[in-house]
């Protein structure tokens, strides 16, 4: 009997020691978390919000449930003796937006409760490739915007002095696999015939082509390459249209023509066929010797068109061709 009591007493003491040990471990873990929180506490930013440390190279894609920031309004203006760029867009309410130029951090701002953000930047010398990285909380990776804003200044060169430039730079918004939007053309406009314009031709290094433009008349647009019809597309909201040609076009010099087919019953619709044509130089992809594969950028300047060529992070590449109004044939 005494042996049983002694055993019970030892067991009870052993349980007390184990409970005490568990509480010590739990208390140590709580203290460690508190100390880590103080160490990681963010600094105050220029806009009065918090400043977060984001490695631009670490922004690799979209997290589940987090939508990348987008660009909605872009404008260039002169402020005193400086040229400045105003950008605004949408993002997750309360998130921090970090603007980068070719991977280098420029400024940050916070998305308001309505999901809107805006920032004004000084224009830097040389080409600018702006991205918005969204940071939705502590200990989460940043999310890279799907779109990139390019600002490419008119070069100071006697070789292309014959071009009729009306602005100081090209500003466009582009995303892999989608049609580009020209915000400001160095030529002051796009090839136009009546209500129809052909603004941009995008193509990737696999041969896929997107032809886009605008029309102030509703209806459809039929696309021709070398006088052969290759397809047609509808005119969407805001008068924008784009046609995805896939990989059907050969490399080399081509004539691309867009023809307007007004919707039946359209008031003041043109009675004669309306079309606009441009000369399109469908270049080969950049080789490995011409790029490092990490977002390299080059521009082919011609008197009546610019061709912006860049590689994409993760592989592949894309080109965007913009035309002078005088390029229309």
Domain 178-327 CATH class label: mainly beta
Q: What angle do CA 11, 16, 22 make, to 5 degrees?
A: 125
Residue 290: what pLDDT? 60
Q: Pick out the chain residues at pLDDT < 50.
A: 1-11, 13, 30-64, 293
Residue 161: what pLDDT? 52
Residue 291: what pLDDT? 53
DSSP 3-state helix, strand, coil percentages of the chain (rounded to 5)?
A: 15, 45, 40
Residue 227: what pLDDT? 93
- H runs (alpha helix) in the chain: 2-39
Under 8 Å between Cβ of 147 and 173: yes
In this chain, the answer to whether the domains covering 50-146 and 178-327 adopt an identical fold is: yes
Task: Map out the domains of the chain as residue ranges.
Answer: 50-146, 178-327
d(CA 107, CA 87): 12
* Phi and psi at residue 135, to the nearest 5°: -120, 110
**In this structure, what DSSP letter does residue 66 have?**
-
* Phi and psi at residue 177, to the nearest 5°: 80, 5
* Phi and psi at residue 19, to the nearest 5°: -60, -40
Which residues 6+ apart lie within 8 Å of 318 measured at CB? 174, 176, 202, 203, 204, 205, 309, 310, 312
Residue 41: what pLDDT? 34
Q: Output the six-digit token pair for 26.
A: 């739990």
Cα separations in angstroms, 105 against 9, 98, 121, 129: 66, 7, 12, 12
Residue 314: what pLDDT? 72
Sign of CA dihedral 269, 270, 272, 274: negative
Residue 246: what pLDDT? 86
Residue 312: what pLDDT? 81
Q: Which fold has domain 50-146?
A: Immunoglobulin-like (2.60.40)
**In this structure, what DSSP letter does residue 34 have?**
H
Residue 192 belongs to what H/E stretch?
Answer: strand 192-193
pTM value is 0.76
């Amino acid at each position: 009997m005494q042996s049983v009591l002694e055993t019970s007493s030892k067991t009870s003491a052993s349980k007390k020691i184990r409970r005490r040990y568990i509480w010590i471990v739990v208390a140590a873990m709580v203290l460690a978390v508190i100390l880590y929180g103080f160490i990681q506490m963010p600094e105050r930013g220029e806009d009065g919000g918090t400043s977060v440390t984001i490695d631009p190279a670490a922004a690799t894609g979209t997290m589940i449930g987090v939508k990348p920031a987008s660009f909605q309004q872009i404008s260039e203006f002169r402020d005193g003796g400086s040229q400045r760029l105003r950008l605004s867009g949408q993002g997750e309410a309360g998130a921090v937006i970090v603007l980068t130029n070719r991977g280098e951090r420029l400024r940050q701002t916070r998305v308001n409760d309505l999901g809107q953000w805006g920032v004004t930047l000084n224009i830097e010398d040389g080409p600018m490739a702006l991205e918005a990285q969204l940071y939705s909380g502590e200990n989460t990776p940043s999310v890279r915007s799907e779109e990139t804003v390019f600002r490419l200044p008119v070069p100071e060169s006697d070789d292309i002095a014959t071009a009729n430039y009306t602005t100081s730079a090209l500003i466009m918004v582009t995303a892999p696999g989608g049609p580009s939007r020209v915000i400001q053309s160095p030529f002051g406009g796009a090839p136009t015939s009546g209500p129809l314009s052909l603004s941009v031709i995008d193509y990737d290094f696999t041969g896929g082509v997107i032809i886009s433009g605008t029309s102030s008349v509703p209806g459809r647009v039929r696309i021709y390459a070398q006088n052969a019809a290759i397809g047609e597309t509808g005119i969407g909201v805001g008068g924008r249209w784009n046609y995805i040609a896939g990989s059907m076009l050969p490399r080399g010099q081509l004539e691309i023509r867009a023809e307007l087919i007004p919707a039946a019953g359209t008031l003041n619709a043109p009675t004669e066929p309306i079309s606009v044509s441009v000369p399109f130089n469908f270049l080969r992809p950049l080789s490995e010797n011409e790029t490092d594969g990490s977002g390299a950028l080059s521009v082919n300047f011609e008197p009546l068109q610019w061709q912006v060529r860049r590689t994409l992070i993760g592989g592949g590449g894309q080109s965007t061709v913009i035309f002078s109004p005088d390029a229309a044939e």
